[in-house]
């Protein structure tokens, strides 16, 4: 049986399906309160219920954003897998460990850091190794969804992270660090280190 790779459009359609499932309660609240006002005109609190549904819908649309631009950069430098802020950079043995923290309202896409990456585990975390450059990174959050196991293209979407989360990114000391504590990262675009 041959494994078919999904196109970026198919991946974005999967994410849109998750977004619409999450936004459905907001639509239901708006519909019930809107039609309920016509039927039961003496129940004035129903108009406030529709505002709650509208705010729920806006909230869901804000947290399910994806960067649709696919940046293909073949220079060999690793890029950040998630959007977030660099909160810690430490040196452990012969490696540099970078911790990127993602807040609730940042884009949810998880991007491939290098072309040769492959997923090691998909539990509550998504952990990825790159054997040729000795790079590993683990992404965890409230919910991580692996959409595609073998993207094979740098900066291509490989999953989504919902809610707050973080990424622990490890690379050798021989690489030149390209980010500092407090820097914002953009998934698939921000260079982490220079090879």
Q: Are 172 and 98 in contact (CB under 8 A)?
A: no
Rounded-to-integer distance, Cα 107 and Cα 66, Å: 5
Q: Are 114 and 95 in contact (CB under 8 A)?
A: no
Q: Over the chain, what HEC string results?
A: CCCCCCCHHHHHHHHHHHHHHHHHHHHHHHHHHHHHHHHCCCCCCHHHHHHHHHHHHHHHHHHCCCCCCCCCCCCCCCECCCCEEEEEEEEECCEEEEEEEECCCCCCEEECCCCCCEEEEECCEEEEEECCCCEEEEEEEEEEEECCCCCCCCCCEEEEEEEEEEEEEEEECCCEECCCCCCEECCCCCECEEC
pLDDT of residue 182: 94
pLDDT of residue 99: 96
pLDDT of residue 20: 74
Return the number of other C-beta atoms located less than 10 Å from residue 79's C-beta: 23
pLDDT of residue 181: 94
pTM: 0.75
Alpha-carbon torsion (96, 186, 80, 60), positive or negative: positive
pLDDT of residue 3: 40
C-alpha separations of 150 from 9, 76, 83, 115, 191 in Å: 16, 18, 21, 10, 21
pLDDT of residue 4: 46
pLDDT of residue 74: 57
195 residues of the chain, pLDDT tens digit each: 334 445 656 666 777 777 777 777 777 777 776 666 556 556 666 667 777 777 877 887 777 777 766 655 557 788 899 999 999 999 998 999 999 999 888 888 888 888 776 776 656 788 888 877 888 888 988 878 777 665 567 777 788 888 888 999 999 999 999 999 999 998 888 889 998
């Amino acid at each position: 049986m041959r494994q078919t790779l999904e196109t970026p459009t198919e991946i974005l359609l999967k994410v849109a399906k998750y977004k619409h499932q999450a936004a459905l309660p907001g639509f239901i609240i708006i519909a019930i309160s809107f039609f309920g006002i016509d039927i039961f005109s003496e129940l004035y609190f129903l108009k406030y219920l529709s505002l709650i549904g509208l705010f729920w819908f806006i909230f869901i649309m804000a947290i399910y954003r994806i960067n649709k631009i696919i940046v293909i950069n073949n220079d060999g430098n690793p890029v950040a897998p998630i959007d977030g802020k660099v909160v810690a950079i430490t040196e452990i043995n012969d490696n540099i460990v970078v911790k990127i923290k993602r807040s609730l309202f940042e884009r949810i896409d998880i991007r491939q850091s290098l072309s040769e990456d492959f997923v090691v585990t998909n539990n509550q975390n998504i952990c990825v190794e790159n054997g040729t450059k000795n790079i590993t990174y683990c992404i965890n959050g409230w919910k991580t969804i692996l959409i595609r196991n073998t993207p094979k293209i740098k900066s291509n979407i490989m999953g989504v992270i919902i809610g707050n989360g973080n990424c622990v990114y490890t690379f050798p000391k021989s690489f030149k660090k390209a980010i500092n504590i407090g820097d914002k990262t953009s998934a698939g675009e921000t260079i982490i280190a220079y090879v």
